[in-house]
Structure 1
């Protein structure tokens, strides 16, 4: 049995993928332009989480893990006092949208899993 799982991607899944790639890319860009390796780590973790979505280890409760992680990124940027204000605003808007998408997918996919039985 392979590591990858078959995934039927709907519009909300594509939105999740786009938002995760965008915020992950922003973090990698910030790491490259500021020399702060912490942003590279944060971006890589975001992209790794997206990779897990396509594996057999994924389960809907991981949407909650993703939402909590992205919420922590919102706080981390403020604590770090990052100076790229325009980019920070875009990134935070993307992250809020990603949290909403994670919450929606969690509710929808957890509901369909419980309807189908164990």
Structure 2
């Protein structure tokens, strides 16, 4: 049985968890509503990935490694979005803007958490 110990978590952890949950939920939603099968699958995998990361942090499983892997995973979401969507100023939807802002801040927080070693 996995035991979650949230006592050692700081406010930085909780903000990062909330941002990962937000981005994960958006990706799962897109995985359900996007008509293209290949994109649907990639959204679902990304969404599940965010929630797996949250679970690993809550379970205290090799947190520094989870932070380190979370940085390119999350940054990769931003890069893939830019390459696939090719947004221009004024054409970014609200959902995209919220997701990408959450991801940029999440990457920064993951860097902070990794450098602190917690």
TM interval, shorter chain, is 0.7 to 0.9
**CA positional deviation for 1:91:** 0.7
Q: Decide whether aligned partners of structure 1 residues 82 and 40 sit closer, same or farther in structure 2, where only a CA change above 3 A counts.
A: farther
Give the 5 Å matches for 1:1-118.
3-4=2-3, 6-7=5-6, 8-35=8-35, 36-81=40-85, 85-109=93-117
Correspondence for 1:115: none
Whole-angstrom CA distance in 2 between matches of 1:50 and 1:38: 19
**CA positional deviation for 1:5:** 5.4
Listed one character per residue, the Cα deviations across residues 64-116 of structure 1 (whole Å, up to 9, x for unaligned) are: 11011001111111233288732111111000000011011111126xxxxxx
Structure 2 unmatched runs, 5+: none
**Structure 1 length as normaliser, TM-score?**
0.80
Please provide the CA RMSD for this pair.
2.0
Given that 2:56 and 2:63 are in contact with CA atoms closer than 8 Å, whether structure 1 keeps it comes out as no
Structure 1 unmatched runs, 5+: 111-118
Whole-angstrom CA distance in 2 between matches of 1:82 and 1:52: 33
Given that 1:31 and 1:38 are in contact with CA atoms closer than 8 Å, whether structure 2 keeps it comes out as yes
Q: Decide whether aligned partners of structure 1 residues 42 and 82 sit closer, same or farther in structure 2, where only a CA change above 3 A counts.
A: farther
